[in-house]
Structure 1
Amino acid sequence: MNKRNLLKLYGLLLIFVVSLSGCASQQVNSKSSVMEYLYPNSTDTFEAPSTPNLTLPLRVGVAFVPESKDSGSSHHFWAGNLYSGGIAEAKKSQILANVSKHFSSLDFVSSIEVIPSAYLTPGGSFANLSQIKTMYGIDVMALVSYDQVQFTDEGALSLSYWTIVGAYIVSGEKNDTNTLMDTVVYDIASKKMLFRAPGTSQVSGSSTPVNLSEELRVDSIKGFELAADNMTLNLEKQLTVFKQRLKDDPNQVTISHRDGYSGGGTLDLWDCVVLLFLSLLAWQRKRALYSQELQRSF
């Protein structure tokens, strides 16, 4: 082989290596969108919310919105593995249980219902929420959504090492997992958003091409857990802000009460009896002291 043909061969190999390194980069996006669920035809229709009428104590439902149609998977070039992100149902139940704890601690909430994901129809909008309202007897719905992007990049250096040394030895991938989770609370009847609480996380790691899918799954779970923890902390803050906002601007909502409930901190019959008894004792003591003063004056 002459020198010219050898240079051509090296050139072709270089182009081949560079093209493979470009193909090796991948991005996986798994998400569920509140906007897609509530407003699937937002360009055609406009939902006009009315002033919410909150009947206390509230009955709240919590659920994950259906996964978006844009969620995708990725096929790794070297290992041949097909990977797709997303949250397992067991993890969803765990996250919803943590969200429910924050609502159950409120004195104006009477019950929490965890709604299975199967009951939420993709693009079901407020019609689907009204069906769930009838089924579970809830007033307010907390919708949880997520958006996770995992990006993997194989550089030319890692590719050359993979070619010469072997995939099991060199750790060549750079994995970045960015996660957003969001809880949006809606009054179903008025279609009015009451408040929201987001949470974010970022996880960075590396792996060999062979165990890339396993490492991405581990990073994905960790990303969801960290984002959910951050979201529940923000949810606690937003619940406090919401209560204060209702006090500062009561015109935002109208408040009514169910039979037998008149708001947190009210007195029941036994409290009234105890207070009446204590008042009577105080009155008798004051009367006795007054009589003693009269006797001294004479």
Structure 2
Amino acid sequence: MNINNRRSICILITVLIALISGCAGQRTATKSSVVDYLYPQASKTVVQPSIPTLNIPIKVGIAFVPEQSSRSRGVNMWSGVAGGSALTEIHKSNLLEKVANNFRGLDFVSDIEVIPSAYLTAGGGFANLEQIRTIYGIDVVALVSYDQVQFTDEGLWSLTYWTLVGAYVVSGEKNDTSTMLDTAVYDIQSQKMLFRAPGTSNVKGRSTPVNLSEELRQDSIKSFEQATDKMVVNLNAQLQKFKEKIKQNLEQVKVVHREGYSGGGATDPFTMLILMLLAGVLYRLRRRALNSASLS
């Protein structure tokens, strides 16, 4: 082998190594933050939460906080920058409905409103929540935030990408999608957080470089759905703890019953005694009426 051939082979190997190493790893992160929404850095207002007063039954709103811009590292030679949240307004609405169902049916909740993202402004803070409170007539808001990171690495099979068939057929891209969802429930008037519940998910997949973007979008939605299901389980547990907290720590949360509210059922001993006495009286009146009818 002459010197020119050796030099050509060395240059080719160097170029291949550079291309493979340059495209070997990609990372894309998308997120939304309750802290950034409620306490923007540009605001000089100091938030001092007070003791919340819950007017039972409460009216609850639920919404995703505004999304921040995506951050990406690495470029795929076939599809450009990889990743990015696939969470559209339709997907958000479907996920929020899952969360809202945890509040529906509770005896201390009268209404639950799913609020579109358009009503929340980035860094709007509690001033924005006051506007939403006026529009929807809610007392409490459940703010949902998320943090999703997608990694893409090329395996050994990526060497076949140098053939056109390999780029379309061989699933050499290894995709990893990690998601954390969090629901933080705030009393708007007192600006006090009542409780929170997280949920996490990790989805692993493979794809060809040609359908990488499509696979990443599907993995993104799948990971959001899994994280939502886990968050719902935690939300159920936190709701029960919150109910017990209200009973045991009356100085931390003030509860006021709205006019006509009976607490979703008569459970205290005095009320039960009254109902038992009334039931006994009705039973005796019915027996007398039956006896009178039989005699006549």
Q: What TM-score do the two structures reach when normalised by structure 1?
A: 0.85
Q: Give 1:278's aligned residue.
A: 279
Residue 11 of structure 1, CA deviation: 2.6
- The alpha carbon displacement at 1:160 in A equals 2.3
- Letter of the 1:278 partner, please give it: A
In the alignment, the residues of structure 2 paired with residue 74 and residue 89 of structure 1 have an alpha-carbon distance, to the nearest angstrom, of: 28
| Bigger Rg, structure 1 or 2 | 1
Residue in structure 1 matched with residue 95 of structure 2 by the alignment: 95
Q: Which amino acid counterpart does residue 85 of structure 1 have in structure 2?
A: S
Q: In the alignment, which residue of structure 2 is the partner of 1:51?
A: 51
Match of 1:292 in 2: none
The residue aligned with 1:160 is: 159
**Mapping for residues 178-257 of structure 1, pairs under 5 Å:** 178-257=178-257
Q: Does 1:19 align with 2:21?
A: no
Give the whole-Å Cα distance in 1 for the aligned partners of 2:215 and 2:190: 44
- Could you say what secondary structure the match of 1:185 adopts? strand
Distance (whole Å) between structure 1 residues aligned to residue 14 and residue 90 of structure 2: 46
**Structure 1's 212 and 119: CA in aligned 2 closer, same or farther, altered over 3 A?**
same
- The DSSP-based 3-state class of the residue aligned with 1:113 is strand
> What is the DSSP-based 3-state SS (H/G/I as helix, E as strand, rest coil) of the residue aligned with 1:168?
helix
Residue 105 of structure 1: CA displacement?
A: 1.9
Match of 1:115 in 2: 115
Q: Is the 8 A contact 1:62 1:96 kept in 2?
A: yes
What's the counterpart of residue 6 of structure 1? Answer: 5
What are structure 1's unaligned runs of at least 5 residues?
285-298
CA offsets per residue over residues 28-83 of structure 1, 9 Å max, x none?
21221111111111785432211111111100000111111345597531244765
Of residues 43-52 and 87-96 in structure 1, the stretch that sits farther from structure 2 once superposed is 43-52
RMSD between aligned residues: 2.7
Equivalent in the alignment of 2:289: none
CA distance in 2, matches of 1:94, 1:281: 49
Amino acid at match of 1:242: F
State the secondary structure of the residue aligned to 2:245.
helix
Question: After superposition, what is the alpha-carbon deviation per residue over 1:168-201, rounded to whole angstroms, capped at 9, x for unaligned?
Answer: 2322111001011111100001111101111111
For 1:272 and 1:256, how far apart are their aligned partners in 2?
Answer: 24
In the aligned structure 2, how far is the partner of 1:203 from the partner of 1:249? 41
Say whether the 8 Å CA contact 2:26–2:72 is kept in structure 1: no
1:6 is displaced (CA, Å) by: 3.0
Q: Which residue of 1 aligns with 2:28?
A: 28
Q: Counterpart of 2:166 in 1: which secondary structure?
A: coil
CA 172–281 in structure 1, closer or farther in 2 if over 3 Å, else same: closer
TM-score (norm 2): 0.85
> Which residue type is aligned with residue 185 of structure 1?
V
1:138 CA drift (Å): 0.6
Q: Which amino acid aligns with 2:279?
A: L
- C-alpha distance in 2 between matches for 1:252 and 1:154: 54
Q: Does the alignment pair 1:84 with 2:84?
A: yes
| Distance in 2 (alpha carbons) for counterparts of 1:180 and 1:173 | 23
Cα separation, partners in 2 of 1:2 and 1:162, compared to 1, 3 Å: same
| Whole-Å separation in 2 of the counterparts to 1:152 and 1:278 | 69
Q: How far apart in 1 are the matches of 2:42 and 2:195?
A: 21
Count of paired positions? 280
Inter-partner Cα distance in structure 1 for 2:180 and 2:100: 19
Instruction: Give the drift of 1:239.
Output: 0.5
User: What is aligned with 1:293?
Assistant: none
Q: C-alpha separation between the residues in 1 aligned to 2:71 and 2:239? A: 31
Residue 278 of structure 1, CA deviation: 3.1
Structure 2 segments unaligned to the other structure (5+ residues): 286-296
Q: CA deviation at 1:97?
A: 1.1
Shift of 1:22: 2.7
The amino acid of 1:67's aligned partner reads E
